[in-house]
Structure 1
């Protein structure tokens, strides 16, 4: 089966055959055809099958009110004692609320709140504890802000409590495979979702992950999960797809995924990139301590923006927002 990766461009001088990439700021006129059993080749965009071309070009519907025709930052708020880069900094309710408000002021379009660390080696957190960490912070944020809030959880009871507190979206790092009740709940109450790929659970995911073809394997897995979510009653325009950088991937896997991010537009969904402060950034950039990986994280974020990725999950909101404003001004034509 062939796969189609558009070659994204942002130059103000467009070819006569240029097409918009997912209705956003990038365009393309050439597509790389990938196949598991044949060499890659380039073809004109107009030669792509009509169904795939529609998915590659169609504007994405707003997600929780966010206009994804421009890049959006999702601020990370870990209300945990053990997250890999900021564990313990924001797990007190007052500190969490202050951090959320600061990220919104700095330019976050949505705040992602998680009460269970999914760092490599992390154990499952009891339901009551995860709810106690997240729901009060969501409710407090709701009293003073209308910014959309995402709950980062694998569990239906946690999502239900978060929804009752005011959460607008469910972000599941297990791709809705951990708790079979989670997708039906989201369909029942009309919550948009983010489906992320991970190979294995956090406690074992970094123990020798393997793929036949990392980009195509993950594309197929996400395609299957999106179809399953649609069957559960969640429309495709309410589904965000995340290839899951760092979740069951080696450094080489992560870099290959970054090279091929534009492939995932073929799913017909808004795409999310969550690479902020990940270990591979420290390894390549030479920064051991995670909290000091903002420059490398920003570089990876902008590489994703250059491939049309709509939502970027980041720790360093203010710094990334500044870099993004400059990148867009210097790179993307005003009429886009």
Structure 2
């Protein structure tokens, strides 16, 4: 059984204004062990990341996610802020990196104003693989399916205190960063390394650690890390995405995929960020648009053998039915806006 692990990033917001509050150090310091060891310092001081351990079953993952969210929310309240699972900063304009961290300051110096864009919160899913060559092959084979995963996870329609018209403003804002986007079509670790070295030489990456593609072999763990999703509004959504991603990775280990046009692939990601699961999505394999939920059905059918191997079929099918019924995180936020909720109240209602 392939292992699973998840990293979730959360915003720390003022309860009255919805503005970002740079109190991550205080919130992390308020976590008791072992939860403090499961928190991570992020580039933005208004963000807190919580990570799970290595899991095998969906229920084990769900319990760790619930525990991490509960502990982080309690620590945030003790610090006088709200812990909110949204993918992009809804109100603030710019943020600075912590001034005492040389690594973060180097990033800010290299990338300039882009590095002062406000906080973005993702859900990063790790799936165990056997070796670096397999990780590279899987990242390449996943390319065409990740726009659909992005659409399912859209949870950031707000920016500067208004609805952007996009389901994932995080997906739009991240495109300002060099080397964020689809993993390149490479076939071996050596070829991947050559591509990364060329991007570093061109200044597109500060160094080889700044590989921020939607999927990548982890530098730390024997995993493929899928980074395309916004942070989910609740842990149940995260579990569905994680189990589906594991099945996608497991299927990709043994199933080759033909090359996909980079132009169509970028268009598919743009379509996903704009539309979410409303209407149609571009299939980069065919260059045609299809109803979004039809593409979900095709994907689930294709990875059903892997879902069964990991005993995740019921978790994924029932979870996807629930998301289709209640909507993505972006859909849920827009329903609250339509009810007349002001954005600070909307954010407070979403807080954990």
Scaled by the length of structure 2, what TM-score is found?
0.27
**Which one has more relative contact order, counting CA pairs under 8 Å at least 6 apart?**
2
Where is the helix percentage greater, Structure 1 or Structure 2? 2
Scaled by the length of structure 1, what TM-score is found?
0.28
